Amino acid sequence: MKSIVKHSIAFLGFSILIYLILIFIWGSVMPIWLNSNLIFKQRGGHLHSRLSELNKHQNVDVLFLGSSHAYRGFDTRIFKESGIYSFNLGSSSQAPVQSLLLLKKHIVNLQPKKIILEVCPQSLSSDGIESALDIISNGKIDYQTIKMAIDLNHIKVYNTLIYSGIRQLLNLDQDFVEAQHIGKDTYISGGYVQRDDVQFEYKSPLEKNINPEQMAAFKELVSWVKSKDIELILVQAPVTTTEYHSYADNTGFDKLMQNYSSYYNFNTLIILDDSLHFYDPHHLNQLGVETFNAELIDLLIN
């Protein structure tokens, strides 16, 4: 009996070792289009650039968190011109689970006086997988990252966690520097990503249903921030009129957010032109960003 147990343990250990080796080889040599269950996202969204310069930013007036609406919508240069020192810690498809993780990891260094959390039906309906892959690929693997992966319990997340963890153990990315210009995107120090002027591109809207796990993480984030005696402001960034009216219950979402903290829905506070101020249904172009940020700064100051 003891022999069977020993052989079983040995076989299990050997199998795990082989799996780890195969994951690393597969992730290293296979093209992205073949890696449907291993997504190493070290480029795009500029999260690597944000995390690389984060230690240079301390005691900020405002910390921005949220999805691409945040890092493409809050231009830290514009806030600086108004005397507001800010850092943008947005990331691709960031949902409350990932916002909370990033906040807990980096709040000691950033020490923000205010936190502006970008909220929208999409982020609260997200499964969090895409954002998790982005954070695992670009951030330090630690206990909180591993816990997030276990909570999400998805094969893509596990495989990417293993692959990224091995790369970190072998210091394969210690010299990696993300390009400032990627396609039509330009990374601006402080976390903002500026998109070159492009023609508006229409995309079909998708149905949004709030994910209970994201809602639970959102509630935890709100409570955690308030326990630190930091002002939390919830902001819904502008989207195109068509996109906004594709949401099933905007009034209900507004009421939900108002229950938790100061909340401003800029889809109802400012008037923007879909073709003039946006480059796709979700994202403002630079003219739109400047208009939106000016209104938000007015609100913060007054």
Residue 156 corresponds to which tokens in the numbers above?
Answer: 């893509």
> Residue 168: its pLDDT value, please?
92
| Cα distances (angstroms) measured from residue 220 to each of 57, 100, 211, 258 | 25, 8, 14, 16
CA 124 to CA 102: how far, in whole Å? 17
Sign of the torsion angle spanned by Cα atoms 117, 122, 125, 129: negative
229: left (phi over 0), alpha (psi -120 to 50) or beta: left
Residue 260 corresponds to which tokens in the numbers above?
Answer: 């938790």
Is 74 in contact with 294 (CB distance < 8 Å)?
Answer: no
Q: What are the helix (H) ranges across the chain?
A: 2-29, 47-53, 68-71, 76-81, 96-110, 121-125, 129-138, 143-152, 155-169, 212-227, 241-244, 250-258, 266-269, 274-277, 286-301
Residue type, 182: I
Least confident of 180-184, 197-201, 288-292: 197-201
Pairing assessment for the beta strands 181-182 and 185-188 based on DSSP bridges: antiparallel
CA 184 to CA 264: how far, in whole Å? 30
> Residue 33: its pLDDT value, please?
57
> Residue 102: its pLDDT value, please?
96
User: pLDDT > 90: what percent of the chain?
Assistant: 66
pLDDT at 153 over 90: yes
Identify which of 129, 118, 125 has the alpha carbon closest to the alpha carbon of residue 69: 118
Q: What is the mean pLDDT of the chain?
A: 88
CA 33 to CA 31: how far, in whole Å? 6
pLDDT band at 17 (very low <50, low <70, confident <90, very high): confident
> Residue 1: its pLDDT value, please?
62
pLDDT at 284 over 70: yes
pLDDT at 207 over 70: no
CA 121 to CA 135: how far, in whole Å? 21
Domains and CATH numbers, the chain: 41-129+177-301 (3.40.50.1110)
Residues 59-73 have pLDDT tens digits of 999 999 999 999 999
Question: What is the arithmetic mean of pLDDT over 8-24?
Answer: 67
> Residue 36: its pLDDT value, please?
64
Question: What is the arithmetic mean of pLDDT over 17-33?
Answer: 67
> Residue 96: its pLDDT value, please?
96
Identify which of 233, 224, 253 has the alpha carbon closest to the alpha carbon of residue 297: 233
Residues 75-86 have pLDDT tens digits of 999 999 999 999
Contacts of 265 (CB under 8 A, 6+ apart): 236, 250, 254, 257
Residues 208-255 have pLDDT tens digits of 678 999 999 999 999 999 999 999 999 999 999 989 988 888 999 999
> Residue 220: its pLDDT value, please?
96
CB burial readout 129-138, b (16+ within 10 A) else e: bbbbbbbbbb
Residues 88-99 have pLDDT tens digits of 999 999 999 999
CA 28 to CA 17: how far, in whole Å? 17
Residue 96 corresponds to which tokens in the numbers above?
Answer: 């409350």
CA 141 to CA 103: how far, in whole Å? 15
> Residue 265: its pLDDT value, please?
98
> Residue 9: its pLDDT value, please?
74
